[in-house]
Structure 1
Amino acid sequence: MDILELKSFLDEKVLQYNNPNFIESDPVQIPHLFTLKEDAEIVGFLAATIAWGNRKMIINNAKKMVTLMGSSPYDFVMTHKEHHLEPLENFVHRTFNGGDFATFIKALKHIYLNHNGLEGVFAAHQQNDSLQPAINQFKKVFFEIEHQNRTQKHVSDPLAGSAAKRINMYLRWMIRNDNAGVDLGLWKTISPAALSCPLDVHSGNVARKLGILLRKQNDARALAELDAQLRLMDATDPVKYDFALFGLGVFEGF
């Protein structure tokens, strides 16, 4: 397929998967539980952070996180005392444990108190063509508080070579307004044109079969290569094609 045929094919797949039916089996349903912006962006960040492994387990554990925060995430983050973090100790999702969870709560409070909130951090460091440097800066800000070194692995850094799949997915949820009810579009100060595709094994394999990704590793260099191709097809909303690539890989076994 030439680029126009490929665009037409992928545009059809975007329409097929970028609709409310996608929500019921995807972690994006977690921020949809809330109407307050701060609640939605906090639970979205936590859900995206643990978004690896079985999708049902991800969703169930994200809901446990919400329950442990009293179903009022922003209030919990901003008003918690040390003893409120004790029930979090038994939480575990793969390598993300209760200690990591407690550190994340403290880091989020630090961000809202000192850095104008989650959107504020990314907006302050955004670039016109990429949010990957902003993710790098976000990680630095996030871990300005006292923390264990092991917790740092749960926030990826693209400038250290990571494709940063989970945080790019989170940014898609927060920034992209798809008018289809999936991505929330809560952040108005950052352009969807700067978003990057959440590159994982599924989207990567499909992209390679379609010839829009040559690099074998799913890393930052592969992400830059894929982003460039997706921007050729839609420079204003390149990550809409995440729905096509993911759907083809997960639901169609392409």
Structure 2
Amino acid sequence: MKRKELKDFLDSKVLQYNNPKFLDSDPIQVPHQFSKKEDIEIAAFLTATIAWGNRKSIINNAHRMMDLLEQSPYDFVINHQESDLQKLEGFVHRTFNGLDLMTFITALQNIYKNHDGLERVFEKHAESDSLQNAIHHFKQVFFDIDHLPRTQKHISDPLKNSAAKRINMFLRWMVRPDNTGVDFGIWKSLSPSQLSCPLDVHSGNVARKLGLLTRKQNDAKALQELDTNLRNLDPNDPVKYDFALFGLGVFKKF
């Protein structure tokens, strides 16, 4: 497939999948129940953190997290006392358990009280054409509190060759403009041109079939290759093609 044919094909699939119907079966529906910026970004971050495995289970457990946070995630993060964390102890999604959730809430409180919030932490170390370095520094700030070593595995580090799928997905949600009602676009200090595709089994397999990716592993090197090819198709909004790659993989079994 020639480049123009490929771009036209993928652009048509973006239009097909980047619409409100996408919310019906995607975890992004969870932060969409909120209107306050801080509620949206905290709900989105926690939802993205557990976004692996069965999609229905992800959505159900993300809604359960919001119930545990009394449907006011920012207020809970900022104002909770240590005793309030005990009710989170029974939460579990695959290997992410209640102790991990308690640590995440404590870490988020530190970020909002001492680092001006999530957006500011990512903005501080953002590069002009990438947020992968910013993710690395975010992880350092996030775990600058007492924590169990096991909890660190729930935030990936691109500088340790991870594709960091879940946190790149979270950044897509926050940064891409809200033109169709799917992504939020509430982080104005960052640009869609800096985003990286949330690379997973589905998007990776489709990208390889379309000639956008040759590397076999879904790691940071593969992500860099895919990013380069997607930026060639649209340098201003390369990650819009996540909708096409994911949709073709999940819904069309491409």
Shorter-chain TM-score bucket reads over 0.9
Deviation per CA, 1:96-151, whole angstroms, max 9, x where unpaired?
00000000000000000111100000011111100000000000000000000000
Deviation per CA, 1:69-94, whole angstroms, max 9, x where unpaired?
01100000000001100010000000
1:80 aligns with 2:107: no
Q: CA deviation at 1:153?
A: 0.2
Q: Output the amino acid matched with 1:203.
A: S
C-alpha separation in 2, matches of 1:37 and 1:178: 13
2:151 maps to which residue?
A: 151
C-alpha separation in 1, matches of 2:248 and 2:189: 31
Q: 1:128-207 counterparts in 2 under 5 A?
A: 128-207=128-207
C-alpha separation in 1, matches of 2:161 and 2:25: 30
Unaligned runs of at least 5 residues, structure 2: none
Partner SS, residue 207 of structure 1: helix
Partner SS, residue 7 of structure 2: helix
Q: CA deviation at 1:178?
A: 4.2
Q: 1:77-116 counterparts in 2 under 5 A?
A: 77-116=77-116
Q: 1:1-254 counterparts in 2 under 5 A?
A: 1-254=1-254
Partner SS, residue 232 of structure 2: helix
**Cα RMSD, aligned residues only:** 0.5
Deviation per CA, 1:13-49, whole angstroms, max 9, x where unpaired?
0000000000110001111110000000001000000
Q: Output the amino acid matched with 2:90.
A: N
Q: CA deviation at 1:2?
A: 1.1
Q: Output the amino acid matched with 2:215.
A: R
Deviation per CA, 1:44-78, whole angstroms, max 9, x where unpaired?
00000000000000000000000000110000000
C-alpha separation in 1, matches of 2:178 and 2:86: 39
Q: CA deviation at 1:253?
A: 0.4
Runs in 1 of length 4+ with deviation above 4 angstroms? none
C-alpha separation in 1, matches of 2:106 and 2:87: 15
C-alpha separation in 2, matches of 1:93 and 1:212: 33
Q: Output the amino acid matched with 2:82.
A: E
Partner SS, residue 90 of structure 1: coil
Deviation per CA, 1:165-215, whole angstroms, max 9, x where unpaired?
000000000000140000010100001100000000000000000011000
C-alpha separation in 2, matches of 1:14 and 1:189: 25
Q: Output the amino acid matched with 2:134.
A: A
- Identity within the alignment, %: 69
Q: Output the amino acid matched with 1:159.
A: L
Q: Output the amino acid matched with 1:201.
A: V
Unaligned runs of at least 5 residues, structure 1: none
Partner SS, residue 84 of structure 1: helix
C-alpha separation in 2, matches of 1:154 and 1:239: 23
Aligned residues: 254
Partner SS, residue 185 of structure 2: coil
